[in-house]
Structure 1
Amino acid sequence: MFERKERFGPEKKILLVVALAILIASVSTFAILYWMMNAALQEDIRSRAQVVNAYSEDNINVYSFTHINGPEDGRRDTYAEVRAMLENIRQIANVRYLYTAKLDASGRPVYLVDGLPPDSPDFRHPGDFIEEDIVPMLKKCLSGKSIESDGVLNTEWGAIYLTCRPVYANGEERPLGAVVMEFNADAVYANNMRSMLYSGILCLLLVGACIVSTMFWLRRLAAPFYKKLAYTDMLTGLGNRTAFELRLRELEKETGRRNFIMVIYDLNEMKKVNDTYGHAVGDAYLQRMGSLLLRESPVDRGWAYRIGGDEFVVIFADEDEASLRDELERFQKTCATSEVGGQPVTFAYGLAAYAREIDGPSLHNTLSRADARMYARKKAERGGA
């Protein structure tokens, strides 16, 4: 009574495994597709950035990084030259933002030349501070490291892919500044968000559908299997004691409308067979009796059970008692011609018909009377011993 009950039964464990398997498969599929899409997009941006960088490195005026420092330098010819080049490249390469940057005297990244039109609301003047979202990346770039953002950057001015290339003067070890490109990734980011949402919904729907389907088939297939397993004697294939008791409860509701006869069988020489030939032959002896009860007349017309050891019971409904007795005598002789290990299948049996005035509402009382008659018969066959 103090045994700990299992929290998850076999069916719940199967459902859990199915749900997890589908979830893992869905998430893995989405992750692979997401990675492949991002990889392809980044490769496209990388190739475009390489072209822009190569052109910029060949054509940009490196002195603009030293001659341009603040808004007042926006009137310089150098500034106009670089801005025109950047705007031209930005339009041709379909870059969202293209600008040059460097570190100011305090070591903070600032804009130098912006490739946007001067009337653009996002236009930045020389000396304006770089937005904090990308300052860490630009500092790395301005220290001499080429930078590519690892996926989409969700900044306050939108989703972008950022690349940054340091620019050097001839013979200089430290960069003068950097050329920064920000590719528009709003559509990509939105698509990724939609993909994640739709994938999540689809994943939940798949998990739900598979759980419902699994529950249906488990109940359709597993429940009958478990029921048979619970109510079948595995050695003989007959119903077991539990199935017998359940059958009695069902039949007791019909005792006023139907006639029932209980026949109990007890195998002879069971102990001798086990002791002489071993329990394997003893099991075969029990199996043979079970087989006879399932296929031979008249017992094949009833409900047959092995209720323990070498005892069997068959319940008959609506049979004529006198005719049944004659048939059982013939059945007993038929069984005696069947041998296991040289031992004929013999038994004693007792028969009792249900009688309400004697048994009351219980078929167990009928079984007890049949059992008493079986032992009386067995005793008589032994010569009263």
Structure 2
Amino acid sequence: MEINKKFNRVDMQVSILTAIIVIISSSCVYFFNYALTYNDMIYTLSERSRHIYKYVEKNLDKDTFIEINSEKDHSKESYKSAKVLLESVKNTTGVMYLYTAKKTKDGSLVYVVDGLDSSRSDFRNAGDLIEKEIWGDLNKALDNNILLPKKIKKTSWGHIFISYFPIHNDVGKVVGVMGIEFEAKHQYNTFRFISIVTPFIALLTCLISALVAVILFKRISNPTYTDFANTDYLTGLKNRNAFEIDMNNLNNSNLKQPISIMSIDLDGLKKINDKFGHQTGDLYIKNASKIIQDVINKKHIVYRVGGDEYIIILKDSCHEEIDSIVNKINLKIIEENATNELNLSMSIGYAVFDENLDNSLFDTYHRADSEMYCNKRKINKND
């Protein structure tokens, strides 16, 4: 029940709505930007691979795929020219691995020319078997397919962007494959970091936005458009409904402090309405409300419970303090009447909760109301 009440509050609904909007918008921005930048990275690497492929296929000696079968063939001119070409392209373009491969008669896939420096430990000689985890892609390339990946691939030798291209002889027949591998560890780690951190940032933004929405709603919206069910529209004070709710809550709680009720009734409001109209009557009410609010401090609550009736719940106040409040209100009225021809007047009565006299705070209110009417009769008698 308590949870339902909280969710029925407008500020809570605003915060939830704000959080939902932030989550949806953040998710859309995240997925759009992630997809856009990731696809752009893949596209850039693909285009670089295509340009390398076109250049190598145009200048590569295709005889290597026939003449070169083992390490002993490294001395052949076709191997040497192909080796110089691949090393030059690799060093110029920043490729991690650049090599050619072919299928042997027994169906194995072997290296033909490796673009790495022959002094490196990971250099592959002609005829060395290619790692079997990439045989599937190489076979597709040998079937005259260009293989460009849609994502970074994780292999036993790191995160790389691998593309495979068929190499054709002069009559257009596929005689081998060229493998191009770009190191992509940096790109992989960057996008992994984005995918992990962005949801946390979105969540934090969501929480901050919800909190800001609640604060702003309370500071901006609520003072202007306060809860209409519990607020008097004309004066901005609490209304009768709020008074009865608060009184019931106070009655149901343990009264650990003295509580007093003050009843105030405006004198002559009907005459002002009849003589000057309801607009002037509203001004009369507003002036009275301002005087009461100026005197009553924030620990006490003021209610406008009728056209000309006010009730004040005073917490932890003694008779002397309440008498002081009544005197201050009367002085404010005198000051107001000195500059305003409406001749404002109020009848005031109060009572302090007494366990011997009152079964509830409503009894205290009735005693305060009776005193107010007694004082009103005195004013009318004097008039």
- SS of 2:174's partner is coil
The 2-side partners of 1:26 and 1:322 are apart by 60
- SS of 1:176's partner is strand
How many residues end up aligned between the 2 structures? 354
1:238 aligns with 2:237: yes
Question: 2:144 — aligned with what?
Answer: 144
Question: 2:286 — aligned with what?
Answer: 291
The 2-side partners of 1:351 and 1:228 are apart by 29
The 2-side partners of 1:299 and 1:197 are apart by 54
Question: 2:215 — aligned with what?
Answer: 217
For the Cα contact (< 8 Å) 1:101–1:112, is it kept in 2? yes
Question: 1:83 — aligned with what?
Answer: 83
Q: CA deviation at 1:228?
A: 5.2
Q: TM-score, normalised by structure 1?
A: 0.63
1:180 aligns with 2:179: yes
The 2-side partners of 1:299 and 1:60 are apart by 94
Q: Which has the higher contact order (CA 8 A, sep 6+)?
A: 2
The 2-side partners of 1:219 and 1:311 are apart by 31
1:364 aligns with 2:362: yes
- SS of 2:170's partner is coil
The 2-side partners of 1:213 and 1:4 are apart by 20
Structure 2: unaligned runs, 5 residues or longer: 315-320, 378-383
Counterpart AA for 2:145: K
- SS of 1:139's partner is helix
Q: CA deviation at 1:160?
A: 1.8
For the Cα contact (< 8 Å) 2:26–2:202, is it kept in 1? no
Q: CA deviation at 1:157?
A: 1.1
Deviations 1:25-59 (A, max 9, x none): 48836863784476367536634651x33442233
Counterpart AA for 1:177: G
For the Cα contact (< 8 Å) 2:110–2:129, is it kept in 1? yes
Question: 1:28 — aligned with what?
Answer: 29
1:123 aligns with 2:124: yes
- SS of 1:61's partner is coil
The 1-side partners of 2:8 and 2:73 are apart by 73
Matches for 1:1-385 after TM superposition, within 5 Å = 10-11=11-12, 14=15, 17-18=18-19, 21=22, 24-25=25-26, 28=29, 32=33, 35-36=36-37, 39=40, 42-43=43-44, 46-47=47-48, 49-50=50-51, 52-68=52-68, 70-71=69-70, 74=73, 77=76, 78-105=78-105, 109-116=109-116, 117=118, 120-123=121-124, 125-126=126-127, 128-133=129-134, 135-136=136-137, 138-172=138-172, 174-197=173-196, 199=198, 206-207=205-206, 210=208, 214=212, 217-218=215-216, 221=219, 225=223, 229=227, 231-241=230-240, 243-244=242-243, 246=246, 253-254=257-258, 262-264=263-265, 287=282, 290-295=285-290, 305-308=303-306, 310=307, 312-315=309-312, 318-319=322-323, 351=349, 359-360=357-358, 364-369=362-367, 371=369
- SS of 1:148's partner is coil
For the Cα contact (< 8 Å) 2:102–2:175, is it kept in 1? yes
Q: CA deviation at 1:62?
A: 1.7
Q: CA deviation at 1:181?
A: 1.4
Deviations 1:160-189 (A, max 9, x none): 2223332222333x4222222112223333
Question: 1:341 — aligned with what?
Answer: none
The 2-side partners of 1:92 and 1:103 are apart by 28
For residues 131 and 360 of structure 1, do their structure 2 counterparts lie closer, same or farther at Cα, with a shift above 3 Å needed?
same
For the Cα contact (< 8 Å) 2:15–2:214, is it kept in 1? no
The 2-side partners of 1:199 and 1:3 are apart by 31
